[in-house]
């Protein structure tokens, strides 16, 4: 049985929001992820790593957010190690963030190239037909628009090359 992430304030999972609609004030990355659903574990991990306020900042950010199912795929030993080492958790999460706003179309134009993450390593972008991949993760849902960036749901937790 997978041990749930612990020690998180209820405020880590914020009020529901809707994607950017013409004329409407969009919510930030954290609020938009909560509204989109499927990112509960990611939001909790952000809180544990102290990154909530960062992703509520002005940005813009492109976030490759692992789904709840992606976190469930992590081996228990890996998850336990990340929870014990906040710096490692922070590095892993920042490997999922790119400065700037990149849509799926922008990523498609980067096919075969790397893009530097906030963690400092490059994440390789590839297209196979219409399937967009970032590193070893497949983009399941793209272009979830937030006021300070954009979210792309990915099917696995990416590990920085140095991990």
The alpha carbons of the chain give a radius of gyration, in whole angstroms, of: 15
> How far, in Å, CA of 139 to CA of 78, rounded?
22
Q: How many domains does the chain have?
A: 1
Residue 73's domain comprises 14-102+141-154
pTM: 0.81
**Pairing status of strand 149-154 against strand 122-128:** unpaired
Q: Give yes or no for a contact between 109 and 116, defined as CB atoms under 8 angstroms apart.
A: no
**Pairing status of strand 61-66 against strand 149-154:** parallel
| Residue 131 falls inside a structural domain | no
Task: List per-residue pLDDT tens for the chain, 163 residues long.
Answer: 444 433 333 223 322 233 333 334 579 999 999 999 899 999 989 999 999 999 999 999 999 999 999 999 999 899 888 878 999 999 999 999 999 999 999 988 888 888 999 999 999 999 888 899 999 999 999 999 999 999 999 999 999 987 5
| Residue 129 falls inside a structural domain | no
| Residue 47 falls inside a structural domain | yes
- Could you tell me the CATH number of the domain that includes residue 30? 2.30.180.10
| Residue 122 falls inside a structural domain | no
Q: Give yes or no for a contact between 52 and 12, defined as CB atoms under 8 angstroms apart.
A: yes
Residue 153, phi then psi, degrees to nearest 5: -75, 130
| Residue 159 falls inside a structural domain | no
């Amino acid at each position: 049985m997978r041990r749930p992430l612990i020690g998180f304030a209820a405020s880590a999972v914020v009020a529901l929001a809707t994607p950017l609609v013409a004329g409407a004030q969009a919510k930030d990355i954290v609020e938009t992820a909560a509204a989109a659903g499927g990112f509960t574990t990611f939001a909790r991990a952000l809180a544990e790593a102290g990154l909530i306020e960062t992703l509520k900042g002005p940005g813009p950010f492109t976030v490759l957010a692992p789904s709840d199912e992606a976190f469930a795929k992590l081996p228990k030993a890996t998850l336990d190690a990340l929870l014990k080492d906040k710096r490692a958790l922070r590095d892993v999460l920042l490997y999922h963030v790119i400065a700037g706003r990149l849509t799926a179309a922008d990523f498609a134009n980067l096919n075969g190239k790397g893009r530097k993450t906030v963690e400092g390593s490059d994440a390789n972008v590839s297209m196979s037909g219409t399937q967009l991949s970032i590193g070893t993760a497949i983009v399941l849902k793209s272009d979830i628009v937030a006021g300070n960036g954009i979210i792309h749901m990915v099917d696995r937790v990416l590990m920085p090359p140095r991990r």
